[in-house]
Structure 1
Amino acid sequence: MITISSLAATYSSAVTYNAATGTTSTTDASASNTTASTTANPSGQLSAAVAAKVTQALAPATAGIKQLNTSLTQGQTKLSALGQVQSAIADFQTLAKTLGSSSTTATSADVTKNVKSFVTAYNALNTKLASLQSGDLKTDPGLAQVSAQMTQTLRDAGGTSSTGALSKAGISLSGGQLTIDSTKLTAALSANPSAVAGLLSGNGNGVADRLSSKLGALTSTGGAIGRETSAATRDISATETKRATLTKTLTAQATALAALYTQQEQAGASGGATSLFDMMG
């Protein structure tokens, strides 16, 4: 059964993005709209012909709704992706704090464990960023800054040169991923375990400390990722407001047109010659 309210729902569907599943869905928002009846058709039930005429009449305007829905989906997808960046960085920062809390009293076994934890956390963060760079945040400037900071911090700590401090301790960077040379790590620990521990974390000067600090700055309110997140949130809010206004207008127009076309249909069926001006008057 086609009714005015079900037809109006066409112009009041809400598109939402589920960050947990990464999917979009359309839900009927007509419950907030008036399920108006008309004098010509008190039940609100429409014929297929009337419904088709209303749909055709409002086709240009409904294209605007579709565009806004597309913009919303894109904005919500980007916001979710930025949230994933922030979450991944927060996970790395948590690990960095753990390294700092145990570095001063760490044994060789502790340091070995910390090195492995650091490498695993770094690689997990890099993998997440690479996934987003090829997907929802492709060509995103903020994400590019995060990746650049990660590489530069390791380069400064000697992780990209065979003579660098990290490389001497068995930690090296290749293709965006860290690897561990167990032989080098064992030798470095035998010589000075506290020095190896200090490379990772120590008084805020270890590579994990510096990386955590730099990445934290990027996700802060004034940082690249923080600014992008705020901008995406504002854009989504503005788009939702525009869509709500247009939806309200379209729903009212759908109801009015349904009444008009129903009157025309009933007048024709009864053989009446009611004009458009008569109906409007």
Structure 2
Amino acid sequence: MILGHHIDLPLGIAPVAMQKMAHPDGEVGNARAAGVAGCIFVLSTLATTSLEDVAAAAPETCKWFQLYIYKDRALTESLVRRAENAGFKALVLTVDAPVFGQRRDDVRNKFSLPSHLSLANFHGELASGVVSEMGGSGLNEYVVSQFDATVTWQDIKWLKLLTHLPIVVKGVLTAEDAELAREFGCAGIIVSNHGGRQLDSTPATIEVLPEIVKAVGKDLVVMLDGGIREGNDILKALALGAQMVFLGRPSIWALACDGQRGVEQLLELLREDFKISMALTGCRTLADIQATMVVPESTYRRLK
């Protein structure tokens, strides 16, 4: 059980923007595939399918909504209300992107959202807003102009007054921030470095997971994303205290390969790989997975 909802696999699909750029199935393909696998699907604010359309297309899937806080707080509140009305089960607040990191490929390629697509959760200029007006990255210009870079922990209080949905904070990398998430009433955290795309030299999420679990693991649902590629990656994260993991890039690669069917195949491969990893480490149930099964590389360096 995760936040009161049964899942068949301790694995979910992380929020990724603009999925129709990978395949026409887009967010619906990933959401439906997650439902088939019994996984959680997290829809990005910057989706190319609206949250209402995703809800209608994948009614059996447990869906969470990833939220950025906009400078226009009324717009942010509208997104929260729509998520509630569409049956989403949690809000995932991304807190590690007050600005976007220096994405040089986007700048060099002058990234813009293709003209046949839109940010489907919005209307008017905001729907087609990922278009560069200064010759650089349209996405970066959108973030600078729209996202509120002044957000603090106090805004969790504001958000909690708006909604009955549990709030999960995504982008935690220290025990201190995890403790603040607990203090301000969050239901869970996702240990995440935003796919390694925000700031060079930040630690891998698996490295900081143990100290975070030690600090808040008894009080919050601790989850992790980043670097999940095989079944034994899931096992390692669970052994070090995560209750579930999320993956982002692999779901988009699979979507690009074969739409919804590609993502279904990916999740089934991961399920079987995870089961084999459990069997070969002597684990009959998730409760059998123990921290002693994972020995960090640093341990061997100390022994030299």
Which TM-score tier does this pair reach, normalised by the shorter chain?
under 0.3
Q: More helix per residue: 1 or 2? A: 1
Q: Pick the structure with greater CA Rg.
A: 1
> RCO (CA 8 Å, sep 6+): is it higher in 1 or 2?
1
What TM-score comes out, normalization by structure 2 length? Answer: 0.20
TM-score w.r.t. structure 1 length?
A: 0.21
